[in-house]
Amino acid sequence: MSRLGKGSAATVTDGSIVLDKLTHWFPGKGRDAAFHAVGPVELEIPSGQFVSIVGPSGCGKSTLMLICAGLLRPSLGSVRIGGQSLNEPLTDVGIVFQDHLLLPFRTAWDNVMLQADIRGTGGPEMTARAERLFDQLKLVKKDASGRAVLDARGRYPAQLSGGMQQRVSIARALVHNPPIIMMDEPFGALDALTRLQVRADLEQLWLTDRPTVLFITHSVEEAVGLSDRVLVMSPTPGQVVRDMTIDIPRPRPLSLTEAPELREYMEEIYQLFEDMGVIETEAASRP
């Protein structure tokens, strides 16, 4: 059952997302015409599905995510979350922005517990979940005797590596076990190795809790590797030009050489980008 209180933020327990003729224009300044940024987009995401969106820069991916989170009202069309119209910001959503947006004056632990502190919803269950996330995301590492050899909990963001900061922001988004998670280029600041590790960690977390995930990435490999479904968007105004089901067993291998079928899906997406004129030569963009 979903609950949408008038005038209050929206909470959900069913994570399905339905977009109906969703379209957005940004108003022009002065005499400039309004800018058609995205849509129309028709989309049905069942609860618990992992969906990635790939598309050229500026095609409207972040705009679409903001609308799905209730942070931006669409010019036309509607969003339904758990079967209910979305008319205010979702609270039961974990959002990870490209920039980790951690508060510099709070420790990693206190950053993760921020929402709980603000809402007064912290408790033993939330603390246990935060402990587990620090463990799963390798922010606390213990040796065979159980002694912590690395413990990020008490460190401030400036004392963490870029990859650790990003993992803290992922823990912060997941700590209240939201039914929906939205991530906009969450691994953008990570080096290639950490990116692989965090990708595997995220898949494990998703396999445990099965939230609905809307994942925006510029990496076709990451989209195919993580998702049940990849949506390919056209250049601006962004529309979904291909809705691709990724049928590869989980947990997925990290290396492309271990999953030739992953490569086939990627080739199909690159071909679409070539057909749309988004990439011009094969050599330029393929790994």
Ligand X SMILES: Nc1ncnc2c1ncn2[C@@H]1O[C@H](COP(=O)(O)OP(=O)(O)OP(=O)(O)O)[C@@H](O)[C@H]1O
Angle separating helix axes 124-136 and 162-174, nearest 10 degrees: 150
Q: What number of CA atoms fall less than 13 Å from residue 251's CA on the CB side?
A: 14
Q: Are 95 and 161 in contact (CB under 8 A)?
A: no
Told to check if 186 binds ligand X by CB under 6 A, we report: no
Decide if 63 contacts 39 (C-beta within 8 A): no
Q: How many secondary structure helices (H) and strands (E) does the chain include? A: 9, 12
Nearer to ligand X, 55 or 179 (CB): 55
Q: The dihedral of CA 159, 160, 161, 166: what is its sign?
A: negative
> In b/e form, how buried is each residue of 241-271, taking b as 16+ CB within 10 angstroms?
eeebebeeeeebeeeeeebeebeebbeebbe
Nearest approach in angstroms of CB 97 to ligand X is: 11
* Binding of residue 60 to ligand X (CB under 6 A): yes
- Member of 8, 35, 76, 85 binding ligand X (CB under 6 A): 35
From the list Mg ion, ligand X, none, partner contacted by residue 198 (C-beta under 5 to 8 A by kind)? none
Question: Among 8, 58, 191, 280, which residue interacts with ligand X (rule: CB under 6 A)?
Answer: 58
Q: Does residue number 26 form part of the binding site for ligand X (CB under 6 A)? A: yes
Q: Which of 10, 17, 41, 59 binds ligand X (CB under 6 A)?
A: 59
Nearer to Mg ion among residue 70 and residue 238 (C-beta)? 238
SS3 label, residue 166: helix
Distance in Å, CB of 76 to ligand X, minimum: 15
- Number of chain residues interacting with ligand X (CB under 6 A): 12
Q: What is the rounded distance in angstroms from the CA atom of residue 143 to the CA atom of residue 190?
A: 25
Q: What is the nearest approach in angstroms of Mg ion to the Cβ of residue 1?
A: 33
Question: Would you tell me which residues interact with Mg ion (CB under 5 A)?
Answer: 62
Is 57 a residue that touches ligand X (CB under 6 A)?
Answer: yes
Q: Does 234 engage in binding with ligand X (CB under 6 A)?
A: no
Summarize as ranges the residues that interact with ligand X (CB under 6 A).
26, 35, 37, 55, 57-63, 236
